[in-house]
Amino acid sequence: MISNQQNIPTNTHEEWQKSIPAQVFLNHFRSIDYYIRHTTPLEEVRQLSTLQRFNPKREGARVGAAKKWLLHAWSAEYTLRTAANHADENYQKHSLHWTFPQAYYSVLYGAKAFLAIQGIDVPIEAVVGQIINGYVAKGWYPESIGFYVDGPLGHYTYHQLPQTTEPALLQPLETPKQAEAHIAQFLKTTRDLRLRAYRRRLQANPEKALRSKTGKIITKFGATHWEEIAKHTGPTTYFDLMSRLKISGTQREIERFVEADIDVPKFHQSLLNIVKYLNFIHECYVAKVMGLKAYQQWIEELPSYLRQSFLQQRYENGIIPIVSAVTKF
């Protein structure tokens, strides 16, 4: 439950009440950003044993597919950067209509590049999510983004989150404990949605629906039924949290963010920080397989608006030192 232990702002109580859902959503994403920034992000990636051991076959088709998906990921990230750096806050507010899905798709395409370099070609987004969620649970990501929750409805187990009992407050984030509280809350609400959505799909299919001993389709779920649902949905991770952006961006609820009294520039910056870190992690996996020389040549061949705006710097300051270090193992 979200708690509010601050004084209501000077705007009207009604306006403040309408802004609460958007403020909660903002705090959820700011908490992830906070959690990443208050660790040692580059060192976390360098220390990944999975990256150190990562050595799939370097094949032309795999490299070509990975390059294609990374180009899509970077193009979407470039769009996010454009919005986040825009000086007009009104423009930023109305750009949420397209920055929400862009943030999700940038992460999705980066994940598909990571899978493609391993020879895994999955066209269905939901299946990509299932595979990535499995990687998260197996420790393929830094702890600052490797948190997840599993278990049946009402009996969740949180992983890589030391603090999950403190209430998440509406006030701006100031402590690591509050960041963890918001992440835990975000994971919980997202998993609730996932499990209930899976239940609806399952029970709407007469061939697969869970039935009682008399053969009737079950309408009231007990503990054993939710355990069955949880087993089929797998863990809930950052990928599911990012997918909330796609859902919000394609439904009318996006208007509540446009009309709400929230700090939109901070929202954009947090989204960008999360996206670029996730993309960076996936890039490290791809670059390790391609080799730095081939990867650098590819970067140099990219359009200048991508290369000069952020990719060359990320390559020099992040990819080179990390890939150089992990290839020694």
Per-residue pLDDT, 326: 95
Read off the pLDDT of residues 243-296 as tens digits, 9 standing for 90 and up: 999 876 566 667 777 777 788 889 999 999 999 999 999 999 999 999 999 999
The average confidence (pLDDT) of the chain is 89
- Distance of alpha carbon 288 from alpha carbon 286, whole angstroms: 5
Q: How far is the C-alpha of 314 from the C-alpha of 300, rounded, in Å?
A: 13
User: How big is the chain by its Cα radius of gyration, in Å?
Assistant: 21
pLDDT band at 173 (very low <50, low <70, confident <90, very high): confident
CA distance 266 to 29: 10
Residue 35 pLDDT > 50: yes
Mean pLDDT of 100-113: 96
CA 116 – CA 309 distance, rounded (Å):
25
Confidence band, pLDDT 50/70/90 cuts, at residue 82: very high
Given a cut of 80, whether residue 119 has pLDDT beyond it is: yes
Neighbours of 121 (CB within 10 A): 11
Outline where DSSP puts E strands in 67-205. Answer: 148-150, 157-159, 168-169
pLDDT tier, 116 (very low <50, low <70, confident <90, very high otherwise): very high
Q: Is 157 helix (H, G, I), strand (E, B) or coil?
A: strand
Q: Is the pLDDT of residue 328 over 90?
A: no
Burial, 262: exposed, middle or buried (Cβ in 10 Å; 0-12, 13-18, 19+)? buried
Q: Which two tokens stand for residue 131?
A: 């595979």
In tens, the pLDDT along 124-149 reads 999 999 999 999 999 999 999 999 99
299-319 pLDDT, tens digit each: 999 999 999 989 999 999 999
Neighbours of 96 (CB within 10 A): 22
- Name the residue range of residue 264's domain: 24-146+237-326
Identify the weakest region by mean pLDDT among 116-130, 193-207, 246-260.
Answer: 246-260
Question: Contact, 194 vs 129, CB < 8 A?
Answer: no
Local structure of 217: helix, strand or coil: strand
Distance, in Å, from the CA atom of 286 to the CA atom of 309, rounded to the nearest integer, reads 21
Query: For residue 188, is it within any domain?
Result: no
Residue 53 lies in a domain: yes
User: From residue 111, how far is each of 117, 148, 275 by CA, in Å?
Assistant: 10, 17, 11
Query: For the chain, what is the total number of helices (H) and then of strands (E)?
Result: 16, 4
Confirm whether 222 is domain-assigned: no
The pLDDT, as a whole number, for residue 6 is 47
114 part of a folded domain: yes
Count of domains observed in the chain:
1
Tokens 């209930």 sit on residue: 196
**Whole-angstrom distance, CA of residue 329 vs CA of residue 293:** 19
**159 lies in a domain?**
no
* pLDDT of residue 11 exceeding 60: no
Query: What pLDDT sits at residue 47?
Result: 96
Question: How many residues are recorded in the chain?
Answer: 329
Name the β-bridge partners of 159.
Answer: 148
- Residue with structure tokens 């890039």? 283
Asked whether residue 134 is domain-assigned, the answer is: yes
Q: What is the mean pLDDT of residues 78-96?
A: 88
Q: Residue 122 falls within a domain, yes or no? A: yes
**Which one has a higher pLDDT value, 309 or 187?**
187
Residue 52 lies in a domain: yes
Residues above pLDDT 90, as percent of the chain: 67
